[in-house]
A and B are shown apart, each in its own frame.
Chain A
Amino acid sequence: DAKTTQPPSMDCAEGRAANLPCNHSTISGNEYVYWYRQIHSQGPQYIIHGLKNNETNEMASLIITEDRKSSTLILPHATLRDTAVYYCIVRPSGYALNFGKGTSLLVTP
């Protein structure tokens, strides 16, 4: 598995964009970048994933660098309900996810 590196914690003001970085310098060509989040005491929630192109959905945007060695998850207008632990995971399609420690995002009023 490609190893990912995320900052342990970040803060963001409510209403501002939250930009969560992830380094995955050993990513292989067939490995996808997945982002999940876990709000306290709930199951992990899928946010977005991509292979090499940037992706956007109703929750977030995923920006993957051209060399695919890093990515950024963008929550365009963070709310208090976005406070959670965010996991960046790199895996081939169809394989189990290997959760690391993630980034604990605190959105403040």
Chain B
Amino acid sequence: DAGVIQSPRHEVTEMGQEVTLRCKPISGHDYLFWYRQTMMRGLELLIYFNNNVPIDDSGMPEDRFSAKMPNASFSTLKIQPSEPRDSAVYFCASSSPGGRRSNQPQHFGDGTRLSIL
């Protein structure tokens, strides 16, 4: 089975440019998560969706960040305008909660390494 697919793998752009990160979750999963990882802050949750609906976006740093999930097989994380402090590795993960006595784990993509110059 295909895992979580993220694109691009690497992105280098100049400050002020719009950046769009993409994620295709595992088919059949109804939860989708966006995380960011930096040396200073480690892995932190930005936002997550359930059945394409944003459930918790309290981790989104500021209004420059936005995320959408137009359908069950696609999500985007957009930064506009981008700043050097946004440089990080961005991970997407998906999961299905499973039944009452068990639950499915989150499966992560390989991440997008973003560098803002």
B8 at the interface (CB under 8 A from A): no
Closest to B100 in A: A93
Indicate with 1 or 0, residue by residue over A64-77, a CB within 8 angstroms of chain B CB atoms.
00000000000000
Q: Which of A32, A43, A49, A94 contacts B109 (CB 8 A)?
A: A43
Give the shortest distance, in Å, between A75 (CB) and chain B (any CB): 17
Q: Are B108 and A44 in contact (CB under 8 A)?
A: yes
**Could you tell me the distance between the alpha carbons of A38 and B109 in the complex, rounded to whole angstroms?**
12
Q: Label chain B's interface by main secondary structure.
A: strand
Are B31's CB and A94's CB within 8 A? yes
Report the count of interface residues on B (CB-CB < 8 A): 25
CB–CB A44/B97 < 8 A: no
> What is the minimal beta-carbon distance from B40 to any residue of chain A, in angstroms?
12
CA distance A41 to B9 in the complex (A): 11
Closest A residue to B59 by beta carbon equals A96
CB distance from A73 to the nearest CB of B (A): 14
A93 touches B43 (CB 8 A): no
Chain A residues with a Cβ under 8 A of chain B: 32, 34, 36, 38, 41-46, 49, 93-94, 96-101
6 contacts between A and B (CB under 8 A): A43-B93, A44-B43, A46-B105, A46-B107, A94-B50, A99-B43
B contacts, CB < 8 Å to A = 4, 31, 33, 35, 42-45, 48, 50, 56, 89, 91, 93, 95, 97-98, 103, 105-111
Since A93-B97, A94-B31, A101-B42 are in contact, a sample of 7 more A-B pairs with Cβ atoms closer than 8 Å, ordered by chain A residue number, is A43-B110, A44-B93, A44-B108, A49-B103, A93-B103, A96-B33, A97-B45
